[in-house]
Amino acid sequence: MRNEITGTSERPFFCACCLLLAACLVAASCGYRMTGSRLLPFNSVTIKPVINKTYEPGLEDSLHNALSAEFINEGIEVRASGGDVELEATVTSFLLGAVGSVDGIVKEQELIMTVDVKLTDNGRVAEFRAMQSPIKITFQSAGTVSESAAHKKTATDKAGREIAREIVSRVIMRYAE
């Protein structure tokens, strides 16, 4: 079939739509389903101040901001108090490890941050222990001290965002079951 106005064939578009529909049907028959904040039994969350049990300063602010942003991205309101559910997070460890070195000088480091989470919903408590970023977070430690510190801060913020995504995903999946 040719479109008389544009002179193009409608067959590729039709085939693409059929393939997309078939893929959705196959995915649905395998038990996959779309999960989002609309299916959740709550609309708001209170994030208590993050506890930092490490000697690394600023982790609590970075993680709290990342959690707030991630819940908002999922369409869940973040309240200072009185939310439908309450989330408590504790940074339990912050480790730096050498990934690469040249002539005994560390050039790249890996950052590992571990967080425990407690979610309270109408008296029910769910705990997620030893959560870490699902991806490896590294940063360049070569150059001046201030450049290395800036790279470390950027990596720390990225680790906080990745852990926040993981936490919010687990919260959503907990209610999707």
List, as one string, the DSSP characters of 97-149: EEEEEETTEEEEEEEEEEEEEEEEETTEEEEEEEE--SS-EEEE--S-HHHHH
SS3 28: helix
Interval 4-63: pLDDT, tens: 555 555 666 666 665 666 565 555 555 444 444 456 788 899 999 999 999 999 999 999
pLDDT value for 11: 67
pLDDT value for 41: 80
Output DSSP code: residue 80. S
Least confident range from 18-22, 31-35, 69-73, 107-111: namely 31-35
Rounded-to-integer distance, Cα 45 and Cα 5, Å: 53
Rounded-to-integer distance, Cα 158 and Cα 125, Å: 28
Helix pair angle (59-73, 145-176), 10° resolution = 40
Look-up of token digits 């590729």: 12
- Domains within the chain, CATH numbers bracketed: 1-33 (no CATH), 41-176 (3.30.160.150)
Nearest Cα to Cα of residue 159 among 55, 87, 54, 62: 62
Tokens read off for 17: 């739509």
Least confident range from 15-24, 60-69, 110-119: namely 15-24
Cα Rg of the chain, angstroms: 22
pLDDT value for 149: 87
Interval 122-177: pLDDT, tens: 889 999 999 999 889 998 887 788 888 888 999 999 999 999 999 999 988 887 76
pLDDT value for 33: 43
DSSP string computed for 137-159: EEEE--S-HHHHHHHHHHHHHHH
pLDDT value for 34: 46
pLDDT value for 58: 94
pLDDT value for 37: 46
What predicted TM-score, i.e. pTM, was given to this entire model? Answer: 0.75
Contacts (Cβ under 8 Å, ≥6 apart) of 165: 70
pLDDT value for 21: 61
Tokens read off for 39: 């299916």
Determine contact, residues 139/96, Cβ cutoff 8 Å.
Answer: no
| CA-CA-CA-CA dihedral for 128, 129, 134, 135, to nearest 10 | 140
